[in-house]
Amino acid sequence: MSKFIAKPAFSLAGNLQIPGDKSISHRAIMLGALADGITKISGFLQGEDVLSTLKAFAAMGVKIEQNADKVTIYGVGIFGLKRPEKPIDLGNSGTSVRLISGILVAQDFDSELIGDASLSKRPMGRVIEPLSKMGALISSSNGKLPLKITGGQALNAIDYQLPVASAQVKSCILLAGLYARGRTCITEPAPTRDHTERMLRGFGQQVNSSGNSICLTGKAKLTPTQIQVPADISSAAFFMVAASIAKTADITLPAVNINPTRTGIIEILQLMGAKISLTNQAEIGGELIADIRICNSKLKGINIPEALVPLAIDEFPAIFIAAACATGETILTGAKELRVKESDRIQAMADGLEILGIKNSVLADGIKITGGELQKPSAIIQSHADHRICMAFAVASARCQHPIEIADVDNVKTSFPNFVELANAAGMVIEG
């Protein structure tokens, strides 16, 4: 079993190039494959999750050329995919399996989606239910993988109210809506990341957004394009927290995606007193980017506004580390979604914080964390093979005076393959 040993590091500095956005890289592969012609991508994230998406479409007859972070996709059109020879293995990637489901239910061939042990525990009923309402035929075991999809079904448009704010479910329905008869509309209980809507427009598809409702009309043809993938704010979050809690720090993260549906991490840290500034703001391919500079600061505990929860859902493991180093109590509610990620992130982080001597109380939909001094770890921290748990406790070394040992860290490669290299370049000492 792999592990990190993160040793004390109190001074951080540097200009760090964060790898490409995972969410955008996934969607670029999918829509590029469904376009009529050649799509070129630069800044592509070379993480295992996105490579699972790439391999899935290659297995369905799409020619894809990759040279480091540059990818060329020879799109086959929305009806040009071919039946894969075996079940499609999507590894650990929840984004892949949920979004691809929306595409596969409209194909004229049968297919099966499988994944690793972690992905096989995650709930898929949230996409099965709306897709079935559209006319899809999907069978599963208790709403989990494997998913067996019967092809050749005619899809009908639906008006769907999302029971839980989820960009993955929304995107799945929008992708199925490309094939459906009529106008598909989705209403969200709260805004979620809108990369699918933005990218569909970039490929020439009309998508209408009004308030929390998103609509599109099916039977579309996608036009190929060029995509520049910005740096991933979810990966940047670990360095934002590390710099905020370090004794001295001055870190700049260039050209990070600051899509307004993803900036919860910035707003929450600023509410806690973090010194964060954004410069060189620009728009590339419909996405907003900026250079983010973070300096060390004195953080204070806060009640995290529930409106910010969907805008920072993937960043909470890092935010919990910030809360552990803040003065006072931080309270998070309205985040039940964290319990069905790659791990139960609320409980996993609570257990790890306890090992570091940080008092906390787990709630049904959140957590209360009382900030304090990180103590000598009383045990090895278990990551539960969750990449974000691994990285969150690794950056806690910017404040802890003792080495932190974190078990089962291989899945960091799913989203941030050069995490250790960048962390050590900034002044951390992570061995793995």
Q: Which residues does the annotation mark as catalytic?
A: 314
CA 105 – CA 152 distance, rounded (Å): 8
Q: Which residues pair with 382 in a beta bridge?
A: 407
Q: In what order do the strands lie in the sheet with 287-295?
A: 11-15, 248-257, 287-295, 275-284
The answer to whether 75 and 35 are in contact (CB under 8 A) is yes
Q: For residue 1, how many other CB atoms are within 10 A of its CB?
A: 8
Of the candidates 346, 423, 349, which has an alpha carbon nearest to the alpha carbon of residue 382? 349
CA 39 – CA 31 distance, rounded (Å): 9
Buried b (16+ CB within 10 A) or exposed e, 161-183: ebeebbbbbbbbbbbbbbbbeee
What are the backbone angles phi and psi of residue 348, rounded to the nearest 5°?
-60, -45
Give 211: exposed, middle or buried? Use CB within 10 Å, 0-12, 13-18, 19+.
Answer: exposed
